[in-house]
Structure formats: C-alpha cells, structure tokens
Amino acid sequence: MSHRPNTSPLMFHVRDIARSPGSHREVQESFPVPQALGTSVISVPEGAELELTASLESVAEGIWVSGTVQAEAIGECGRCLDEVRQDVDAVVQGLFTVGKIEVGEDDEEPEDVFEFDGENLDLEDVVRDAVVTQLPFTPLCRPDCPGLCDQCGARLVDDPDHAHEVIDPRWSTLQSLTEQKES
C-alpha cells in the first residue's frame, strides 16, 4: 500500500483525510534524502537515510503535521577540518493549508504554515526546517578541538606541545646573517 505519488519520497497523498476533520494518519518511514538538508559546513547528505515518524491530522484549517525526524549529518570541523558526524533528532511540526492563511497587515507572517493543494502533502520544507535548525553554525569534532597551528597548519590534537620559536622581528635579520655565516 502506497499513499505517495512517485515524485518525492516526502510527498504524501492525503486526499482521503483532507476533507474530514478529525481523521488522521500515522506515518513511520525511512527513505533516502532526496536533496541534501543543511548548510555548506554540515548537512544530511543526499541519499542518506532519514527516518520520519509523524502524525497527519485533519483539522478545520487543513492538515496538522507533528512528529520527529532522525538522520545523521556529516560536516567539517570548523577548527581542524576533520569530518564531523552528528545525530539529528528534530521535532517536525507545521500546519498545511489550502491557499494562504489571511494575515492582517500588522500581523507577522505565521511560522510553520505551509501551503498544499488539498491532495498531496509535500513534507520536504517542514523536514528541512526541522533538520537545519538542529545543525550547528560551526560544527566541531569535539568541544575542545584545539584546531590547527596558525603558523604551519599542523593538527594540534596530534601534537599538543607544538610550538614555534617566536623571534623578535628586530633580531630576525641579525639571525639570518648569522645563519648565512655559519653555512
């Protein structure tokens, strides 16, 4: 049994419940992510497994979606550039209405409101919002990652006592002269 057209794994056919407030459908599915979810530094990559557990409830205004989504995001440590893997367990919720909800001029655009055609619910945006808000702006391989040496680029975690001799620029000319003499 499939309630979904083939266009997107996140598209759910809801015509049967859309016009009968009070009815609902439970969704529990795993599928590959159709398009990477995240930012340039960390994301759930395209094709990665996404697990969605949600309830689609028919309400007077449309369909209320609430549930959770789980996946693994892969990124790059902002300090040492190592790979970072992070489990994402995000709350998904949104109201899908047929046509835009009327908003007064002074009212703010309501959050978590999406449009649908009355038949097919595309959960990609609501899932994307949920996942992206869980991702860090600067992913770190560990909270105390020491990063890279700003002089030579060495990984400081491999070499914690790493140091460079700091030479006063006024002496460096003198030192190179000495080195020239020695060689």
Contact flag: residue 42 with Zn ion (CB under 5 A): no
Name which position in 56, 71, 80, 88 contacts Zn ion (CB under 5 A). 80
Stretch that binds Zn ion, among 34-42, 65-73, 124-132, 142-150 (CB under 5 A): 142-150
In whole angstroms, the minimum distance from the beta carbon of 74 to Zn ion comes to: 14
**Residue 73 beta carbon to Zn ion: minimum distance, rounded to whole angstroms:** 15
- Shortest Å distance, C-beta 133 to Zn ion: 23
DSSP string, the chain: -----SS-TTEEE-HHHHTSTT-EEEEEEEEE-SS-EE-SSEEE-TT-EEEEEEEEEEETTEEEEEEEEEEEEEEE-TTT--EEEEEEEEEEEEEEESSPPP--TTSPPPTTEEE--SSEEE-HHHHHHHHHHHS-SS--SSTT---B-TTT--BTTT-TT-------HHHHHHHHHHHHHH-
- Residues binding Zn ion: what is the number (CB under 5 A)? 10
138 sits near Zn ion (criterion: CB under 5 A): no
Q: Residue 154 interacts with Zn ion (CB under 5 A)?
A: yes
Note the residues at the interface with Zn ion (CB under 5 A): 77, 79-80, 82, 141, 145, 149, 151-152, 154
